[in-house]
């Protein structure tokens, strides 16, 4: 299924394809502050509808995850990185996806704080 999503002001918009089989809530220093609910898909399943340069990037710690956010409204719609096998992945913030029932999505809690 294809989903549409964006930041609050719409400067960063995307389309993503896949089956939402759950979300992940991480308690690391950045995720706990952002409150993201993440859904991981292959990066090829994410299509930006706005220019890539419209999103800003924040990297910290080991600099392996690109936390993408809107420089206008500050919302974090997605991140980019690689899985343990080296495959390009996108972490979609389900809170930025249109037309889904967040209450119906099962949430897995991940202890990123201890890593």
Count of CB atoms situated within 10 Å of the CB of 75: 18
Phi–psi pair at 44, nearest 5 degrees: -65, -20
Average per-residue pLDDT for the chain: 95
Q: List residues bridging with 58 in a β-sheet.
A: 67
What is the per-residue pLDDT across 54-66, written as a single tens digit (0 to 9) for each? 999 999 877 779 9
Task: Taking residues 45-58, report their average pLDDT.
Answer: 97
What is the pLDDT, as a whole number, of residue 114? 85
Q: What is the pLDDT of residue 113?
A: 84
Q: How far is CA 77 from the centre of its chain?
A: 5
What residues contact residue 24 under an 8 Å CB cut-off, 6+ apart?
A: 37, 38, 39, 40, 107, 108, 109, 110
Question: What value does the mean pLDDT take over residues 69-93?
Answer: 97
CATH code matching the domain that covers 2-110, chosen among 2.60.120.330, 3.90.950.10, 2.170.150.70, 1.10.357.10: 2.170.150.70
Q: Which pLDDT does position 94 carry in this prediction? A: 98
Q: Where are the domains of the chain?
A: 2-110
């Amino acid at each position: 299924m294809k989903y549409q999503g964006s930041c609050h002001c719409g400067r960063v918009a995307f389309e993503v394809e896949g089956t939402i089989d759950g979300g992940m809530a991480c308690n690391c220093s950045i995720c706990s502050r952002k409150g993201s609910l993440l859904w991981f898909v292959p990066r090829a399943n994410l299509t930006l509808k706005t220019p890539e340069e419209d999103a800003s990037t924040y990297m910290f710690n080991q600099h392996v995850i690109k936390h993408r956010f809107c420089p206008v409204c500050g919302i974090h719609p997605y991140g980019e990185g690689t899985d343990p096998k080296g495959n390009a992945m996108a972490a979609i913030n389900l809170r930025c996806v249109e037309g889904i029932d967040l209450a119906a999505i099962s949430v897995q809690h991940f202890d990123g704080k201890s890593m």
